[in-house]
């Protein structure tokens, strides 16, 4: 999104104030907090749900296995194709 505050360099500060307000943190309290504390209070430190992390890890593991077995699968497919050609030739 674009904000008129972008041009004057206040967009980041406005976003921080907005996120603090969403988390229910008064501005005078938010000013005393570190950025990581504000992020944690608003739940912004979590970039990925546990379920999404698990799915990503399983997908990565499956992709690794898929790559490792690629040559074997190609050989089996070639053998199956050859058997089909032989059966057709016998008809």
> pLDDT tens for residues 2-41?
667 677 777 788 888 888 888 888 988 988 988 888 888 8
Residue 20's CB is within 10 A of a number of other CB atoms, namely 20
Running DSSP on this structure, what letter comes out for residue 4? G
On whether the CB atoms of residues 11 and 3 are closer than 8 A, the answer is yes
Mean pLDDT of 48-77: 92
Contact criterion met (CB below 8 Å) for 32 and 38: no
Separation CA 14–CA 27 (nearest Å) = 11
* pLDDT value of position 1: 62
Q: What does DSSP assign to residue 8?
A: T
Which pLDDT does position 3 carry in this prediction?
Answer: 67
Q: How far apart are CA 35 and CA 46, in angstroms?
A: 14
The reported pLDDT for the residue numbered 64 is 94
């Amino acid at each position: 999104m674009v904000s008129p505050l972008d041009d004057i360099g206040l967009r980041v500060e406005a976003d921080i104030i907005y996120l603090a307000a969403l988390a229910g943190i008064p501005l005078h309290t938010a000013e005393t907090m570190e950025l990581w504390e504000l992020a944690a209070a608003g739940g912004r430190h979590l970039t990925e749900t546990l379920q999404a992390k698990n799915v990503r890890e399983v997908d990565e593991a499956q992709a690794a296995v898929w790559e490792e077995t690629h040559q074997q699968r190609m050989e089996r497919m070639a053998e199956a194709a050859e058997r089909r050609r032989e059966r057709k030739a016998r008809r």
